[in-house]
Amino acid sequence: MRLALYRYRLPLTRPLMPGDAQPGKREGPTQKSPIREGLLLEIDGQWGEIAPLPGFSRESLDEAEAESLACLEALARGRAIAPRLPSVSFGFDCALRRWPPAVATPPEPCPLLQGPPLELLAGLDDLARAWETAAVRKAKLKVARHATQDELALIRRLTERFPALMLVLDANGGWSRAQALAFCSRLPVGRIDYLEDPCADFADSAAVAAASGVPIAVDEPLARGLPWHPVPQLAALVIKPTLVGSLARCEALVREARRLGLRTVVSSSFESDLGLGLLDRLAAEWAPDEPPGLDTRRWLAKGLLAPDGLPERDALIRLHRSDGHHE
């Protein structure tokens, strides 16, 4: 069995969460240095990515690296493995998976808008030209990060400028119940596809949805293993495999969504271009009719893949070789 583990460092075009830190809120990933770090795993020519997202994953990259090396040592000795860290489970599952034959390509990823509202407003003309060419009908906007009036003004201008546009809003659990209710009471409900995690506690999110009529989606409770349950306003389950963990657990959530009549959205955690390619394949398999949340490639100043679609090993730091020795 050919085994290898590599570490990568990718420059970003901007910090992942610029200006998003708030009192009492988790620090956004890569606030100080616009670098994304992660691991690439190779098993007999098949690849996986292990890239905990700082501020969101429960494990650090060093912890993921240590468990990955232990798993590789076990595999080299013919032993079964059972990774416990979510990012490690995802990476090994991808590298060991028997992928089905190619399926239909899913819709284009939902464009992601993230940053200060005034900056986004200033770029509406450029956005309009790009979206007209791409026939964009849905976009995702991060909220609960800046002044409420500024975020609502941006939503108002977006819905005025793009009359056919539906908005996905993502609060990352950043509001209290009262704050979320105040925000939702001023939304154009008919133009909101759904609001992801308005509150950290699902009971609060459900109460906000019931009171406001705004459809909601569950994201972070899935990744953190927190309780949730179907409510009339629940529209979708947002699955981030890097945070959720094993593909078996992800597939169980996909089946549960189908059973409940909910939509499934496969979403990224700012993985490299290799990881995004894996997520795109999973989205095509699990939710072929739903635009995935994979519009994070723009944050990468460069990629890891060569023209042949395989990682450029010379740009990686090798941590493990097939013979089990370390460098």
Specify the higher pLDDT residue, 164 or 18. Answer: 164
The residues that bridge with 3 in the sheet, in sequence order, are 43
Name the catalytic one among 32, 140, 142, 302.
142
- 133 pLDDT above the threshold of 90: no
pLDDT for the residue numbered 17: 61
pTM: predicted TM-score of the whole model, two decimal places: 0.91
Average pLDDT (123-152) is 91
Q: Are 295 and 140 in contact (CB under 8 A)?
A: yes
Specify the higher pLDDT residue, 7 or 103. Answer: 7
CA distance 192 to 174: 18
pLDDT for the residue numbered 29: 44
Give the confidence band of 323 by pLDDT, cuts at 50, 70, 90.
low
**Residue 25 annotated in active site:** no
Percent of the chain with pLDDT over 90: 82
CA distance 239 to 215: 17
Average pLDDT (186-211) is 97
For residue 306, give the amino acid letter. A
pLDDT for the residue numbered 101: 86
Q: Is the dihedral of CA 59, 63, 69, 70 positive or negative?
A: negative
**Stretch among 86-90, 202-206, 222-226 having the lowest mean pLDDT:** 222-226
CA distance 203 to 55: 23
CB within 8 Å of 48: residues ≥ 6 apart: 40, 41, 90, 91, 92, 93, 94, 95, 96, 278
Average pLDDT (295-311) is 92
**Residue 32 annotated in active site:** no
CA distance 210 to 230: 12
The residues that bridge with 168 in the sheet, in sequence order, are 140, 194
Q: Name the 3-class secondary structure at 199.
A: strand
Name the catalytic one among 25, 32, 138, 240.
240
Average pLDDT (184-199) is 97
- 215 pLDDT above the threshold of 50: yes
pLDDT for the residue numbered 290: 93
Residue 184 has which token pair?
A: 């939702």
Pairing of strands 112-113, 46-50: unpaired
Specify the higher pLDDT residue, 23 or 33. Answer: 33
Give the confidence band of 18 by pLDDT, cuts at 50, 70, 90.
very low
